[in-house]
Amino acid sequence: MSSILEQLRTRFDRSLVAAFGDDLAGTDPLIVPTNNPKFGDYQANVAMSLAKRLKQKPRDIAQQIIDRLEVSDLCEPPEIAGPGFINLRLKPQFLQSKLQQMYASDRLGVEPVEHPQKVIVDFSSPNIAKEMHVGHLRSTIVGDAIARVLEFQGHDVLRLNHVGDWGTQFGMLITYLREAYPDALTQPDALDIGDLVAFYKKAKVRFDEDAEFQTTARNTVVTLQSGDPETHQAWGLLCEQSRREFQKIYDRLDIKLTERGESFYNDLLPQVVEDLDKQGLLVEDQGAQCVFLEGYKNKEGNPQPLIIQKSDGGYNYATTDLAALRYRIREDGAKRIAYVVDAGQSTHFDQVFQVAKRAGLLPEDVEAVHVPFGLVQGEDGKKFKTRSGETVRLKDLLNEAIDRSRLDLEKRLEEEDRHENADFIEHVATVVGLSAVKYADLSQNRTSNYIFSYDKMLALQGNTAPYLLYAYVRVQGIGRKGNIDFQNLENVSIELRENSEFVLAKHLLSLPDILAEVAADLLPNRLCQYLFELSQKFNQFYDRCSVLQAEEPFRTSRLMLCDLSARTLKQGLSLLGIQVLERM
């Protein structure tokens, strides 16, 4: 079943062609939901946009469109308003039959896309031997939601974890550990990642202070990259320890990822240099191999180089990304690649994409996009830190969210004089705590910075995970109270009567359009907003309409609306990586 918007667009397309000829086929009719119910449900703004091209007044254009617009099965007769808006009001009969179809569909009326693509989502991507921080958490949560939405749309999604597992940090770390804790380099369990991070800091201090240490560290990188077995083994152990710690976080958050770190591309780096050279892009500058960038100038106003290979033969972060891009397009067959990485790396991606395009590594029919996100800030608006000024460890952050959610729950149980067993409390506290963290992040437009506040994210009111979970639980409560088997409701036809039912119905039916938008713009906050409004509209409906006490056919019809609301919430939340609760 195609969505309401799609149906309207098709009808407009036909009418535009009938009125103004084939030239206008495929013109976007610019249909958007109205923000005031007075004007109906949707408005089409196409008449205004065509005025110049057709050299006619928008209102006249609108008139010619609606004269040929065949929508009598979907809408009341369209009306022209203001300068030339075309207002559309859906017919109750049409809404009811659409809702019936949605109800009967496993996918809630969301059709898989006609042309599935091979999509790569590059997300999370922490650095080995450094602790995963809040920025990586944001990438992990946002990237996972984007991947889930694209998967649900029917795309073939490869989720790649481009971990920083190569490069200079290993030279420092291995050199330092060789003198300080040689066991760590030969025994699998000698360290945990907390130690590793501390060692990394110490190694960095040595590196910055001690010239001899610096030389040894640099040489170690070269030995590592040339495949020396002992250094390679030490490197492997360090990676393994980090990996185990990262995996714990992924498991808790239910994140699936394929690790393909920077080291994977090591052997492919010379090929990049060769490709760039063949295209005549490579220039030697002070011993380094560079590409001069278009549109980037240094302080002196000279063209700025992107260093591909350093004078010592080593490669850079950008070189690895060029190799990765090449591999993802040629070997994986990706048609769309989304890099969910903090906004601070915008320039990096812009430069990499530019060079890749100029070198023919990134063809026209492949879309590579940086999906940037802003900083996570503390409630004081500054960088998110612990009280003592340290970076917050993800483990601690998740634990704290769960602890606070447990306290809230215990308080609520006491107030309501409810008695629940320990398993229930643990389960609810965990789901609510983790959902709250995820949802707080996803519900913000990712491009802005966001303020991390446990109190706000755990609140039962507002645009929060607990509020949405509660709406779902409310429906399950109705089911328990009325002894309703939602899976086997008698199949009556849905009968809408009250205004709040219409409002809820229309909102439910816009799910496919919202998901299409999220898939296009990669903005999960659009889906959050949709689910938040769904919960509000459901609550309004339930406050105003009796359900269990209503007469038939309204009773069953309303139970169907309840069920549809719950299923839509469950599906939508699962696309955000959030699971629902039956009781809370």
The amino acid present at 137, given as its one-letter code, is L
Q: 396 vs 256, 401, 577, CA distance in Å?
A: 21, 9, 20
List residues near ligand ARG by CB under 6 A. 122, 125-127, 162, 164, 321, 324, 339, 341
Cis peptide before 363 (omega within 30 of 0): no
Q: How many CB atoms lie within 10 A of CB 114?
A: 6
Best CA proximity match to 350, nearest among 387, 295, 413, 421: 295
| Residue 78 DSSP SS3 | coil
Looking at the Cβ atoms of 109 and 164, the one nearer to ligand ARG is: 164
Q: How far apart are CA 119 and CA 151, in angstroms?
A: 9
Residues 441/342, Cβ–Cβ less than 8 Å: no
CB of 326 to ligand ARG, least distance (A): 12
Residue 33 bridge partners (DSSP): 42
Q: 133 vs 52, 124, 246, 307, CA distance in Å?
A: 52, 10, 11, 28
CB of 169 to ligand ARG, least distance (A): 11
Looking at the Cβ atoms of 372 and 477, the one nearer to ligand ARG is: 372
Residue 373 bridge partners (DSSP): 342
CB of 463 to ligand ARG, least distance (A): 29
CB of 142 to ligand ARG, least distance (A): 13
CB of 503 to ligand ARG, least distance (A): 42
Looking at the Cβ atoms of 165 and 563, the one nearer to ligand ARG is: 165
Residues 565/504, Cβ–Cβ less than 8 Å: yes
CB of 317 to ligand ARG, least distance (A): 7
On the CB side of 545, how many CA atoms lie within 13 Å of its CA? 27
Looking at the Cβ atoms of 103 and 339, the one nearer to ligand ARG is: 339
Residues 484/74, Cβ–Cβ less than 8 Å: no
Q: How far apart are CA 61 and CA 87, in angstroms?
A: 14
Looking at the Cβ atoms of 164 and 512, the one nearer to ligand ARG is: 164
Looking at the Cβ atoms of 321 and 563, the one nearer to ligand ARG is: 321
Report which DSSP code applies to 385. Answer: B
CB of 323 to ligand ARG, least distance (A): 10
Q: How far apart are CA 369 and CA 353, in angstroms?
A: 9
CB of 255 to ligand ARG, least distance (A): 15
Looking at the Cβ atoms of 269 and 475, the one nearer to ligand ARG is: 269
CB of 246 to ligand ARG, least distance (A): 12
Report which DSSP code applies to 498. Answer: S
How far is C-alpha 267 from the geometric centre of its chain's CA atoms?
31
C-alpha dihedral, 65 to 514 to 159 to 341, nearest 10°: 90
C-alpha dihedral, 70 to 75 to 80 to 82, nearest 10°: -140
CB of 31 to ligand ARG, least distance (A): 37
Looking at the Cβ atoms of 341 and 473, the one nearer to ligand ARG is: 341
Residues 459/444, Cβ–Cβ less than 8 Å: no
Strand duo 282-285 + 288-297: pairing: antiparallel
Q: 384 vs 39, 125, 371, 536, 578, CA distance in Å?
A: 45, 20, 21, 31, 24
The amino acid present at 249, given as its one-letter code, is I
CB of 245 to ligand ARG, least distance (A): 15
Q: How many CB atoms lie within 10 A of CB 104?
A: 11
CB of 271 to ligand ARG, least distance (A): 17
Looking at the Cβ atoms of 164 and 572, the one nearer to ligand ARG is: 164
Supply the Cα-derived Rg of the chain in whole angstroms.
Answer: 28
